Amino acid sequence: MARILVTGGCGFIGSHLCAALRVQGDQVLVLDDLSTGTEANLAPGATLLLGDISDREVVREVMSEVDACYHLAAIASVERGVQDWMGTHRTNLSATIGVFDAARARGVPVVYASSAAVYGSGGTLPLDEASILRPLSAYGADKLGCEQHARVAGHVHGVPTAGLRFFNVFGPRQDPRSPYSGVISIFCDRMRRGEPIDVFGDGMQTRDFVFVGDVVRALVRAMRHASVTAPVFNVCTGRATSVLALGAMIAELCGGEFAVRHRPARQGEIRHSVGAPEWAQERLGLGPAVGLRSGLATTLSWL
């Protein structure tokens, strides 16, 4: 049984990860400030320490009690980075450096959440781990900063890390009520209530939607690959879906019509995003990803 720290363990992805770690018999300590997560998400048997990842003393103290760390706490929204550039930077990059710094005292391995947002635009699709990195948003730039500081953590301080570039993650427990939440949770919630959906821009932008169960499998496997060489892995499906096609698929599963209100395109928005999953699937020993339709059906049945 290992003692594991999960920052952001009361959030969407973190709560699923904590549940999986408990099932495999690990002792789980969650550090979360409940800014977007909820205590109701805390996995049975996990312990919650209410605190801010920017508080270096707190992070140092909890890191001294564990064998490994998953660092997922962040302000997980491109849009919030547009509204509050410095504030999101403090949580998304500075606090991550604090996590690596705390890990170096005992060489605690850290698996952390990066994002497809590091690729930005201009790369050849599908994006693989060697593709050009040109983030368009503060959120993407900070996630790229996390990857670069992970290399420093390994090279200078001997901290083993692995970064996972999640593409667009969806599934149960993604909060549909936050305007900053993922598009799938918002569309599912709206259509369930018979309300129109808002589509930013023309709706022909594409995303690679990956089910949360696949993300958890990648996280669990990635801990074995944490290394001072600071590897990064795509977590994606290789399938691109436009926002309008997504709306149509959810409407079909809900058995109804759907009404669209077009809104101006978001600032800092990426037009097309689809990843190449092969290298990560092979290295991490992962099976094929859950299909979008099947993942959507699971998500709708949770709502």
Active site residues: 139
| Cis amide bond preceding 126, omega within 30 | yes
Residue 129 makes contact with ligand NAD by CB under 6 A: no
Binders in 176-215 for ligand NAD, by CB under 6 A: 182
Cβ 255 to ligand NAD, closest distance in Å? 26
Cβ–Cβ < 8 Å for 21, 72: no
User: Residue 17 in contact with residue 70, Cβ under 8 Å?
Assistant: yes
Question: For residues 78 and 230, which CB has a smaller minimum distance to ligand UD2 in the complex?
Answer: 78
Residues that bind ligand UD2 (CB under 6 A): 76-78, 115-117, 166-168, 182-183, 186, 198-200, 205, 207, 243, 266, 269-270, 273
For the bound state, the minimum distance from the C-beta of residue 247 to ligand NAD, rounded and expressed in Å, comes to: 18
Site for ligand NAD contains 94 (CB under 6 A)? no
| CB closer to ligand UD2 out of 191 and 223 | 191
Q: How far is the CB of 213 from ligand NAD (least distance, A)?
A: 13
| Residues whose CB is less than 8 angstroms from the CB of residue 99 and which lie 6 or more positions away in sequence, other chains included | 7, 53, 59, 63, 69, 71, 110, 112
Matching residue, tokens 């990843």: 275
The answer to whether residues 222 and 162 touch, using CB atoms and an 8 Å cutoff, is yes
Which of 12, 70, 100, 187 touches ligand NAD (CB under 6 A)?
12
Kindly tell me which of 77 and 131 has the beta carbon lying closer to ligand UD2: 77
**Part in contact with ligand NAD (CB under 6 A); list of ranges 51-59, 150-158, 260-268, 274-282:** 51-59
Strand positions, DSSP E, 44-174: 47-50, 68-71, 110-115, 161-166, 168-170
Q: How far are the Cα atoms of 120, 121, 156, 272, 289 from residue 124, in angstroms, in the given order? A: 11, 9, 32, 10, 22
